[in-house]
Structure 1
Amino acid sequence: MPNTLNPLELIARHWQPSARFVRRAALATVVMAVIIVVTGGAVRLTESGLGCSTWPKCTPDSLTPTAAMGINGLIEFGNRMLTYVLCAVIGLFIIAARARAPRRRALTRLGWAQFWIVMGNAVWGGIVVLTGLNPYLVAAHFLLTSALLTVAVLSWQRAKEGDEEPRDVVARPVRQLSWLLVVATGALTVIGTVVTGTGPHAGDAHKVHRIPLNWQEVTQLHVDFVYVVVGLSVALWFALRAVKAPAAARRTALELLGCIALQGVIGYVQYFSGLPEIVVGLHMLGSTLVWIAVLRVALALRERGPLQVDDPAAPAVDAAPDAQLASAASR
């Protein structure tokens, strides 16, 4: 009996996407992860967290929102539907990575990791609704989305480079400084979720349980960690200049400083203006851009060789279009 080919194998036999297509598909997963964060914030900031009163249906008797639920039901249901768009984009990346020759198992594994994070977070989001927006579960919901963004950025980076063992392009202490920056920024993100859990934007117009901590004290802790991240970022930039790191690495560090400066301005505006919804939403967008920039700096300090291509005469890596797309997405 002949072996039965799975659908991905069949596609790979009839379609050979270019390396650029795979990279752009990977970048699309990054963009979609950012959109999911922003739209999830919109659900909270418009008090639509319980716009759909149950899960997986929107109401006990309807899969979709009813007219009586108003705009809040539409916003919450729309955010749920966006998950399918995200899955479609991730699916495109998985198919393209699998069809691309030579086959790169590490790349397809990263694609599947994104898919399973989305599935797990969708179930977790349902639990959040069923528990009436428990603030601890809401915080974990956001952190799972941050994990998705992390894997998406790693997928984008791996789509642009080869599969050799990673080699440092700077002295090891500088690399260690970059990873310390990643840890500090991760801690900043976690504290930010606690600030949200204690703050006024509970996600629904009705009374919702909040984390029993002083909002202003937690906010001050968050600000303290901002200074830590800023200090580490500046130190890393000077270190890269001192060791004459490659221009690309120094450029990513400078981009990070720009993102942090913009995020700092937004943070102070939202604090001193009483946390207006639109500014809080921009702050959430800024947090994703800072996290992307931090990861890009850390990943720029090692190399894995050129990307293998079918045509030896073709350039190994053509990252310029991707850089332009990323720059446009960050504006």
Structure 2
Amino acid sequence: MPKTLNPLELIARSCQPSARFVRRAALATVVMAVIIVVTGGAVRLSQSGLGCSTWPRCTPDSLTPTAAMGVNGLIEFGNRMLTYVLCAVVGLFIIAARARSPRRRSLTRLGWAQFWIVMGNAVVGGITVLTGLNPYIVASHFLLATALLTVAVVTWRRACEGDEEPRDLVARPVRQLAWVLLGATAALTLVGTLVTGTGPHAGDARKVHRIPLDWQEVTQAHVDLVYIVVGLTVALWFTLRAVKAPEAPRRAVRDLVVFLLLQGVVGYVQYFFGLPELVVGLHMLGSTLVWIAALRVVLAMRDRGPLPELPEQPSGDAEAVRPAEPAAAG
């Protein structure tokens, strides 16, 4: 009796995505993870956090927002619908990675990790609504979105490199400094969620429970961590120059310096102008770019060789997916 093939196996036998297509699919998951963070911030900043009063339905009697709910209902419901777009992009990457030969199990595992984080965060998002925007649940919702972004960046990096044993490009103390920098950036992000939980943008025009901490003190702690991250970045940049490190890690640190400077400008503008919603939204976008840059610094400290490539014809984007060659008879 012939063996029944699962859908992924059927796709793998019928088409062969190019390495470029897999890389672009991986990059698309990073872009969507950033969009989810930014649009989630837009929901909060537009006071649409409870635009849909319940979950998984929008109202007890309707799956979609009603006219009486106004623009807040549309914004909240639109953010929910983006989860389906995100799932589709992650699914596309999983299929492309599974169909690509030679098969790389590390990529498909990372793709499935993204999928399950999305599913878990969808549930946390529902709990956020059902608890009336509890600030601790809101913070967990953001941190899970950051976890998704982390896995997406690692996936993108793995899609651009080979599967050889990692070869260190710099000495161990330099790598340790890079990890300390990443830890400080993670702490900066974590304290940023406390700033959100104590600040004025609660996510809804009605009275919403806030984290019982002094907003100005938490903000000052956030600023102190910014100085620490900037100091570690500058130290790492000079260290890499002193040891004559390869171009890849030096370029990654330069990118982080640029994003930190831009984020610092946005941060001071939002503070001195009373936290205008648009500038706060830009600050949230900047936080995702800083985190991506910090991750790339750590990932640039080692090399895993070139991609395992199949012989490919020089082609444009139209050949991103091409039919697989038939197996030889025998």
Partner of 1:137: 137
Q: Distance in 1 between matches of 2:262 and 2:101?
A: 41
Describe how 1:1-331 pairs up with structure 2 within 5 A: 1-311=1-311
How far apart are the structure 1 equivalents of 2:260 and 2:116? 31
Partners of 1:33 and 1:229 in 2: CA distance: 23
Give the 3-state SS of the residue equivalent to 2:201 in structure 1. coil
With a CA cutoff of 8 Å and minimum separation of 6, indicate the structure with the bigger relative contact order.
2
Could you list the per-position Cα deviations for residues 130-184 of structure 1 after superposition, in whole angstroms to 9, with x for gaps in the alignment?
A: 0000000000000000000000000000001111121210011101111111110
Q: Provide the C-alpha distance between the structure 2 equivalents of 1:133 and 1:168, rounded to a whole number of angstroms.
A: 45
Write out per-residue CA displacement over residues 255-306 of structure 1, whole angstroms, 9 at most, x where no aligned residue.
Answer: 1000000000000010111100000000000000000000011101101111
Residue equivalent to 2:323: none
- Deviations for 1:63-117, whole angstroms, at most 9, x for unmatched residues? 0000000000000000000000000000000000000000000000000000000
Residue 278 of structure 1 aligns to a residue whose secondary structure is helix
In 1: Cα distance, 2:95 partner to 2:242 partner: 43
Structure 1: unaligned runs, 5 residues or longer = 315-331
> Quick check: 267-276 or 304-313, which moved more?
304-313
The 1:37/1:312 distance shift into structure 2, 3 A limit, reads closer
Letter aligned with residue 295 of structure 2: L
What is the rounded CA distance, in whole Å, between the counterparts of 2:86 and 2:262 in structure 1? 27
Q: Distance in 1 between matches of 2:32 and 2:78?
A: 14
Aligned-pair identity (%): 81
Partner letter of residue 262 of structure 1? L
**What secondary structure, in the 3-state scheme, does the structure 1 residue paired with 2:210 have?**
coil
SS of the equivalent of 1:306 reads coil
3-state secondary structure, aligned to 1:16: strand
Give the AA of the match of 2:293: A
Q: Secondary structure of 1:210's match?
A: coil
Per-residue deviation at 1:311?
A: 2.1
Unaligned 5+ residue runs, structure 2?
315-330
Q: In the TM superposition, what is the alpha-carbon distance from 1:247 to its structure 2 partner? A: 1.1
Please tell me the residue identity of whatever aligns with 2:135. P
SS of the equivalent of 2:191 reads helix
- SS of corresponding position for 1:211: coil
Kindly provide the amino acid, as one letter, of the partner of residue 112 in structure 1: W
Secondary structure class of the residue paired with 1:203: coil
What TM-score comes out, normalization by structure 1 length? 0.94
Letter in 2 for 1:92: L
Structure 1 counterpart of 2:298, which letter? A
Root mean square deviation, CA, Å:
1.0
- Which amino acid in structure 2 is aligned with residue 165 of structure 1? E
Moved over 4 A (4+): none
Q: CA separation in 2, counterparts of 1:213 and 1:103?
A: 51
The one-letter code of the counterpart of 1:304 is: R
CA shift for structure 1 position 308: 0.7
- Looking at structure 1, the residues matched to 4 and 191 of structure 2 have their Cα atoms a distance apart, in angstroms, of 50
CA shift for structure 1 position 252:
1.2
Residue 313 of structure 1 deviates from its aligned partner by: 10
Q: Secondary structure at the match of 2:212?
A: coil
Give how far 1:123 is off. 0.5
In the other structure, the counterpart of 2:326 is none
User: For residues 126 and 168 of structure 1, do their structure 2 counterparts lie closer, same or farther at Cα, with a shift above 3 Å needed?
Assistant: same
CA distance in 1: counterparts of 2:72 and 2:267, whole angstroms: 26
Between stretches 46-55 and 159-168, larger displacement belongs to 159-168
What is the CA–CA distance in structure 2 between the aligned matches of 1:313 and 1:235, rounded to whole Å?
A: 45
Q: Distance in 1 between matches of 2:100 and 2:300?
A: 24
